[in-house]
Amino acid sequence: MTAIAFSQFRKRLEEFFEQAESEAVFITRADGHDCVLLSKQAYESLLETAHLLSRPPIQIV
């Protein structure tokens, strides 16, 4: 994962959007409100995993 200051992120936005296709980009801010840039595919995968893990396990009788 790459960590980048917000000011640098703004200057190199296109580069980091391309990078987010293969790995997460961690964006740090001076005020502590940090963010993570993910591809849509990675985000949807995380949502699906969270959904599957939130369901009770199937019991075979």
Provide the residue range defining the domain that includes 44: 2-54
Distance (Å, rounded) from C-alpha 14 to C-alpha 26? 15
Query: Per the domain annotation, does 40 fall within a domain?
Result: yes
* Domains identified in the chain, total number: 1
Which two structure tokens, joined as six digits, stand for 44? 């949807």
Query: Per the domain annotation, does 41 fall within a domain?
Result: yes
Q: In this structure, what CATH number is given to the domain that contains residue 11?
A: 3.40.1620.10
Count CB neighbours of 38 within 10 A. Answer: 16
| pTM for the predicted model, two decimal places | 0.73
Mean pLDDT by 10 residues, the chain (61 residues): 87 93 93 94 96 87 77
Query: Per the domain annotation, does 49 fall within a domain?
Result: yes
Query: Per the domain annotation, does 6 fall within a domain?
Result: yes
